Amino acid sequence: MGAILLTGGLGFVGSHTGVELIKEGYDVIIVDNLSNSDMKTLDNIEKIAGKRPRFYEEDLCQEEGLEKVFLENKIESVIHFAGYKAVGESREKPLLYYKNNVLPALMLLEQMQKHGVKKFVFSSSAAVYGPDNDAPYTEDMPTGNCTNPYGKCKRIVEEICQDLSVAAPDMTFIILRYFNPTGAHESGLLGETFKSLPNSLMSYICKVALGECRYLSIFGNDYPTPDGTGIRDYVHVLDLATGHIKGLEYADKNRGCHIFNLGRGKAYSVLDLIKVFEQVNGIQIPYLFEARRPGDLALAYADCKKAKEVLGWVAEKDIESMCKDSWHWARTKWDIL
């Protein structure tokens, strides 16, 4: 069996997936340019999994460095996590996002073709569904009208995969559309890190719990939802990790391009999430209602039937574990990093 190359393998979803892959006996290689991650994460992957993945500090846009990874290793599959993920920033700096979130996929796919690597798993997002579809989202819904360049980049890479799957029928593309990744490794050694501003609701809740912010700003309480706040489908990062393993197993036996939602299909509002966080962690989260955030949807959650029936994957961790593990990580991470 050849190795699995993880791009962005020191990031949030990448690091948890690396741990689970090593535990399953896979040979893992990580490429990361450290733009939004830290070498300590590599030590912590080793601590949890008992094995240190081979590591390359490379930028995927640099052909020579990337090719070296393919020349020095027998790579069987690639899981492409690397990319910027701050939706607001993607609106301010679209060129940066198109360059960093589309070009690396092209560079990787070129190297894969050159070196005969046939299996590509892509870390996509529920952002591709855009505002024209009604939740629950199914994989066959039309995509493309995304409200931000971040989502558009994900959609473009999906389309590249679809086109290439026609031109190269011996390849396999597994596109995983994550809903709202949250939680952290229960050891407290891995979780989401930020070099600039955090960009998810849970990380802002943790900042308030840590006393770094006085209150949480809730973006809108006038949505057409039961309590007026936005509804999302939160999914534990360790469940996402096992989703990638199921995706790889599926890629072993199937050709073509296959898309799967990775969510729980359970809808939680901002106020629901705060309430659960308060209950399981015994901390009050003060909040204020503010204006809606541009581009936000009222309601976004997955239909998870396809992943269950085709991959045999179901997210097992509940919202309580997500709140508990996120808080554990938020309290310990500054000692670790």
Positions marked catalytic: 150
Which of 111, 148, 242, 281 contacts ligand UD1 by CB under 6 A? Answer: 148
- Give the chain's length: 337
Asked if 289 is part of the footprint of ligand UD1 (rule: CB under 6 A), the reply reads no
Contacts of 102 (CB under 8 A, 6+ apart): 153, 156, 157, 160
Looking at residue 115, what DSSP letter applies? T
CB of 2 to ligand UD1, least distance (A): 31
Query: With binding defined as CB under 6 A, does residue 232 bind ligand UD1?
Result: yes
Among 8-16, 257-265, 291-299, 326-334, the segment contacting ligand UD1 (CB under 6 A): 291-299
Residue 291 identity: A
Q: Does the protein bind ligand UD1 through residue 184 (CB under 6 A)?
A: no
85 binds ligand UD1 per the rule CB under 6 A: yes
Q: Which long-range contacts (CB under 8 A, 24 or more apart) does 100-104 make?
A: 100/61, 101/150, 101/153, 101/154, 101/157, 102/153, 102/156, 102/157, 102/160, 103/60, 103/61, 104/7, 104/60, 104/61, 104/80
Report yes or no: 292 and 298 within 8 Å, Cβ to Cβ.
no
153 binds ligand UD1, rule: CB under 6 A: no
Which residues are 268's β-sheet partners?
Answer: 232
Query: Is residue 177 near ligand UD1 by the rule CB under 6 A?
Result: no
Please, what is the minimum distance in Å from the beta carbon of residue 48 to ligand UD1? 24
| Separation of alpha carbons 3 and 134, rounded Å | 39
Nearer Cβ to ligand UD1, position 58 or 158?
Answer: 158
123 contacts ligand UD1 (rule: CB under 6 A): no
Q: Report the nearest approach of ligand UD1 to the CB of residue 296 (Å).
A: 4
Q: By rule CB under 6 A, what string of x and - marks binding of each residue 258-287 to ligand UD1?
A: ------------x-----------------
Q: Count of CB atoms within 10 A of residue 91's CB? A: 15
Does residue 2 interact with ligand UD1 by CB under 6 A?
Answer: no
Q: At closest approach, how far in Å is the CB of 74 from ligand UD1?
A: 33
Q: Is 10 in the site for ligand UD1 (CB under 6 A)?
A: no
Dihedral, CA atoms, 245, 248, 191, 158, nearest 10 degrees? Answer: -140
Three-state DSSP class for residue 261: strand
Rg (CA), the chain: 19
Confirm or reject binding of residue 36 to ligand UD1 (CB under 6 A).
no
Binding positions for ligand UD1, rule: CB under 6 A: 85, 87, 125, 127, 147-148, 150-151, 180, 199-201, 204, 216-219, 230, 232, 270, 293, 295-296, 300
